[in-house]
Amino acid sequence: MQPVDQLIHARWIIPVEPAKEVLTDHSLVVHDGRILALLPRAVACRQYTAEVEVELPTHALLPGFVNAHCHAAMSLLRGIADDLPLKTWLEEHIWPAEARWADREFVRDGSRLAAAEMLLGGTTCFNDMYFFPDETAAAAAEAGIRAVVGMIVIGFPTAWARSTREYFVNGQAVHDRYRGHPLIRTSFAPHAPYTVDDAALTEVATLAEELDLPIHMHIHETAFEVSSAETASGERPLARLARLGLVSNRLVAVHMTQLTEAEIAAAALAGISVVHCPESNLKLASGFCPLGRLSAAGVNCAIGTDGAASNNDLDMLGELRSAALLAKAVAGDPCVVPAHEALQMATLNGARALGLEQDIGSLIAGKQADLMAIDLGGMRAQPVYDPISQIVYAGHRDQITDVWVGGRRVVRERQLLSLNERELAETAERWRAKIAEG
């Protein structure tokens, strides 16, 4: 018998690749942080002996979620400016609050709070865009969660950088610092077409090609954004980005609620990834991403939560359910985005968007053991005819019991192992009191 680190025995295993597959009474073999094999339990127990064996008799084991767009540190602004349109929310509330409070300590504490929430909700990787990305990276590494942190570029001074040149210099220092890190990757993160000028966007395109990095950006988020661009320049934002060399398979385009058929076809041809943030878009009344049409055209569609200031949570299980239901309503077709496709968007498609599909996003031999277990044994989950459908349409994040990142168990029986939840709550309360007092 071959010695290995872990044997995880589950009632069901949902590997995501191939799509729709559900394996009953199987075991996952984990060694050196990676998936060694996925076998029927009886076969696994004959072939391997493990230091640790985990029994999940009423659970489904599946890949950890990939939150393809968030602003982790904004968890400390959860609920600060609700029920407002995007422009008002951003310009009159969020940007002033960030100018007052978003320093290194704020980002560190907010990112730790977000990492804890995401891990407890089954998210094992997140794609972030915020100031002080080095603090977010450090918080993620401490928590044991995988992260892609954005080298943000925005057209006004902040506590992170005072000029466009400083944004690039500071961002690339973060890239160099975390080069080769087992959990942390970087991307370029120009905020949006309306906050970054042509020269900076051209430089982003050039550097992303040189460093082989994704470009993470809010694009076509609202009708106002698109119409304002057309009025000012006669050019839609996506067309401008194409002219500047950003529209390629590196582009991770977030929101994309305002799209013509020609733009959908162009997105598919260029190989861009679209990140759908349904609950944030609904709350801010930003519009509806045509998820069904994008998917049918062959565009890689992933799912993100956006920040907790506009959602107001980082619950990927809730988000993928909202995405599936909203897609059906928008398309007028109940067959659009079936349960298995929604689950793939929240796992493997997110990994593809970030260029990580060779390592995470599905349970196949050779990939990192980024996993979560969801308990389908309770009354609220009965009866179980189709575990995938049950998870997508009836699952709740409180049913997620165990989470592993790179084979390291970071949540055990709903208890966070890598961070102290009481300390996080106390820190969040201190920030609330400080921010509320102004």
d(CA 180, CA 74): 27
Burial class (CB in 10 A: 0-12, 13-18, 19+), 78: buried
Helices 164-177, 133-143: inter-axial angle, 10-degree rounding: 20
pLDDT tens per residue, range 216-254: 999 999 999 999 999 999 999 999 999 999 999 999 999
Neighbouring residues of 149: CB distance < 8 A, sequence distance ≥ 6: 128, 133, 134, 136, 137, 140, 174, 178, 184, 185, 186, 187
Q: What is the largest CA-CA distance in the chain?
A: 70
Burial class (CB in 10 A: 0-12, 13-18, 19+), 423: exposed
pLDDT tens per residue, range 38-60: 999 999 999 999 999 999 999 99
| pLDDT over threshold 90, residue 195 | yes
Neighbouring residues of 425: CB distance < 8 A, sequence distance ≥ 6: none
**Nearest Cα to Cα of residue 156 among 193, 195, 189, 99:** 195
Residue 214 one-letter amino acid: P
Asked whether 419 and 142 are in contact (CB, 8 A), the reply is yes
d(CA 323, CA 276): 8
pLDDT tens per residue, range 401-431: 999 999 999 999 999 999 999 999 999 999 9
How much of the chain exceeds pLDDT 70, in percent?
Answer: 100
pLDDT tens per residue, range 57-83: 999 999 999 999 999 999 999 999 999
Q: Note the pLDDT of residue 373.
A: 98
Location of structure tokens 């799912």: 303
**Nearest Cα to Cα of residue 114 among 329, 345, 435, 427:** 427
- With a threshold of 0.85, does the pTM exceed it? yes
Q: Note the pLDDT of residue 416.
A: 98
Residue 154 one-letter amino acid: I
d(CA 24, CA 334): 28
d(CA 285, CA 105): 32
Domains and CATH numbers, the chain: 2-63+361-406 (2.30.40.10), 65-353 (3.20.20.140)
Sign of CA dihedral 291, 295, 300, 303: positive
